[in-house]
A and B are shown apart, each in its own frame.
Chain A
Amino acid sequence: MGNRLDDLKLTIRGGLVGLPEEAAGRALDYYGEYIAEALEAGRSEEEILKKLGRPEEIIALVKAEASLDNAEMRPGPFRLIGAARKVFGSIVTSAARVSLLIGAAVPYTLALGLYIASGAAVLGALGAVALMIDGISGMSAGFVLEKIGAAGVAVFAAAVFAAAGLGLWLAANRITRLTLRVLRRSLKRDWERGRDAGTGQTASLGLKKAFLICAASALLGIVLIIPSGLPMRYFSIWNSMRPGHLTAVAGIYNATDISEIEATTLNSRIVVRTGAAPSESIRVIYEKPDWMANTLALHSKRLIFCEISRGMLPFLGFIARHEGMTAVMIEVPPNYAAKAVQIQSTGGHISVDLQAGSIRVKTGDGNIRFSSRGWIYNIKVYARKGSITVKGRLFDGGVYASGAGEGHIAELRSSGGKIEID
């Protein structure tokens, strides 16, 4: 056998290194057999070399075919990119390259986009789990049922995200096959578009299993969530509903012992009103949902009420901006005037109807209603989103100020709600 033919075989062998054994071996066998047969038939070295063409072309073609097959059998973003690059590399004329770019650009980009979206959904699944683990670690000791429920939320969310990711992956695979078809058609020596029926079936079986696992996980998540009571609690907070189970907390103080009032809530309403309490006493009534705790104390003439989380609900901070239907009521006797009042809530409505030397009110999404009871205040009002109404008149711009007061100060702020002043 001629040296140049040996060289050709060596070049092809070297060029196919890295290809799967099956694809490389088959091609080498074919060309080896061809050369042996041609020599046997009395062909000259020159003739054979001319008939076979350039080895680079043979190598590029075998590689492109193998990577198309590989991508078709087990579609994925990297195999798709590899196949596209190999096919592009094996095409010689620039006209064929341009037509390939035009034909394959849209499905290729779409497939890669879907793969990225699928990856993002899987990241979402991981994120949901991480967020929930963080939430659970922030919960107080005890509340085992609630912690299991929170884990259930994580499992459920992860399963839904994973199923979405899987669906996107499946769609991406379909588009990949379409892209491969376009790529194959561009390979100048080929036209066939079918694929092995067997491999497609095993792939879809695996996917079916994966979807089943997702569905089972989602179901497991639901099973874990339901007994924990978390959904109902979130639902009632989210929809500003009155919780089914409330504990009444009450405290009665001598009005003469108190000159300052301070109240803070997460999402319960705060109502301060004059006249309803028995004479000479100040009364605090709080309707406590089971996920909340509170402090109520008197510190040197300062009455302090504070609503806090029991650490039972993960992410209560996020949803506390929804105003609650529970309330804390602070009732003062008819002729009472406080020195200072400070009221604050993350999400609750606030209604203040009493006389005080200084009044400071602040809420997130809740509304504020303030009744001056005839006193004139140096008043400043800030409403970032909602409207400001003063004695029935609407003020634009989110700010209202009046400096006609007799030394009494009032400052009212709401970032999401409206503010009304009588």
Chain B
Amino acid sequence: MDPQLKKGILDALVLALIKDGDTYGYQLSERVAEIVDVAETALYPVLRRQETQGMLETYSIEHNGRLRKYYRITGAGRAKLGEFIEELSELERLIAVIMKGARNDGKQA
């Protein structure tokens, strides 16, 4: 996949996954890995930026004698996710057109 496109989608994906329920770094990383193949190094900057920009907030819960940092989506995060979804549905429409063209080509050949 085009790396530029992948980056944008990774951002949306992170927001969407956290919207479904608060989560911590490793768990999120595992979930992302199930869906899309990205290096672990890709995730940390995304989380960090989203946190500094107020799309995510964090809280810590003690677990096995250490702290687990949980991420929770904020109002700003939901708004951003809304924007992503709008953009992606536009993309979806385009993809549908492209796919239809490709199928037609296949028939002619």
Residues of A within 8 A of B (CB): 26-27, 29-31, 33-34, 36-38, 40-41, 51-53, 57-58, 61-62, 65, 69, 187-192, 194, 196
Contacts and interface: CB of A to CB of B under 8 A. Distances in A.
Interface string B6-27: 0110010000000000001111
A190 B40 contact: no
A190 B44 contact: no
B78 interface: no
B105 to A, nearest CB: 30
Contact of A196 (B11, B25, B53, B66): B53
B68 A33 contact: yes
Contacts of B64: 40
Given A190-B46, A191-B8, A192-B53, A58 B41 contact: yes
Contacts of B67: 33
Contacts of A188: 3, 7
B8 A189 contact: no
Contact of B4 (A38, A69, A191): A191
A90 to B, nearest CB: 10
Nearest to B7: A191
B11 A34 contact: no
Contacts of A192: 11, 49-50, 53
Nearest to A187: B45
User: Interface size for chain B: under 10, 10 to 19, 20 to 34, or 35 or more residues?
Assistant: 20 to 34
Tell me the dominant secondary structure on chain B's binding face: helix
Contact of A34 (B8, B25, B49): B25
B40 A34 contact: yes
Given A61-B41, A69-B52, A33 B25 contact: yes
A61 B25 contact: no
Given A33-B26, A33-B66, A57-B41, 5 more contacts: A27-B48, A33-B69, A34-B40, A51-B39, A192-B11
Nearest to A185: B4
B29 interface: yes
B42 interface: yes
Nearest to B3: A188
Contacts of A65: 45, 48-49
Nearest to A38: B26
Given A33-B68, A34-B29, A196-B52, A189 B24 contact: no
A53 B45 CA distance: 14
B66 A30 contact: no
Contact of B26 (A34, A187, A191, A194): A34
B50 to A, nearest CB: 8
A58 B42 CA distance: 9
